[in-house]
Amino acid sequence: MELGLRGKTVIVTGGGRGLGKIVVTMLAEEGANVVIAELDEQTGIQTAEEIIAKGGKALMVKTDISDPRQTENMVKAALDRFDGVYGLVNNATVISAGKPFLEETMDEVTREVNVIYYGASNCMRAVLGPMRDRKEGAIVNVLTDAARIGERRMANYAGAKAGVGGLSRSLAKEYAPYNIRINCVAPASMMTELNRQIRAEELQKVGPEKFAAMQKKRLSLYPLGEARGELGRPEDVAHAILFFLSNKTSWVTGQSLSVDGGYAIGPW
């Protein structure tokens, strides 16, 4: 299915690894020019080289999204290299501190808010001007369903993500007259390589019987989990992101799509 992304330039923050890498790879396969905004320079360069080696077009820009000067440079580099910027995927994030609310330090809280909320805001502030000038653009912000339903030990992380959701809806209204669409994708826990590694270590630590019981309890949180026998994959989320970037959603803005195996609606 043609997504209408060929020749269009899309910036993906955190595009050097994990979900971000899957997104930029899929975009390159669709013929898009990808700009990998990555704090880890070596990881970003490696991903860009892999895409170029397969015939794709990629640019890596080392970027700390919590610094507005760096996000402005990110967009400038994209404009200098390619003809305009069509899309932005705000994917870069930090891992939740995973602590009870009263035990989380202010340094940890500040880091979560700076990267998650201000990072997304900085990137959109930098890119919306050029998009407005071209009267075209698509932005996808990656949230979490923990922001929608609440989750223990994730209060400030979920709060920052929820803030991005509110920001997205407000900007969707403000910039719709310029043919700019802003939508969100909200995943829950995914079976990433890191998650597989954690589960393998857990299996070794607790043994097969206890591990099976723990896994069953985890999957019970996801209505589709029992049927599939595992968590969703990052590719499931990446497909939703490309859907929102594509011409198939040209009449959709201000929306949030859960890609979570039913986590947000609760277990059966």
Active site residues: 157
Sign of CA dihedral 16, 248, 244, 138: positive
Phi, psi of 38 (to 5 degrees): -140, 135
Helix axes 155-175, 119-134, angle to 10 degrees: 10
In angstroms, the CA 225 to CA 188 distance is 12
One DSSP character per residue, 80-93 reads HHSS---EEEE---
Sign of CA dihedral 217, 221, 227, 231: negative
Q: Which residues contact 70 (CB under 8 A, 6 or more apart)?
A: 63, 64
In angstroms, the CA 231 to CA 78 distance is 35
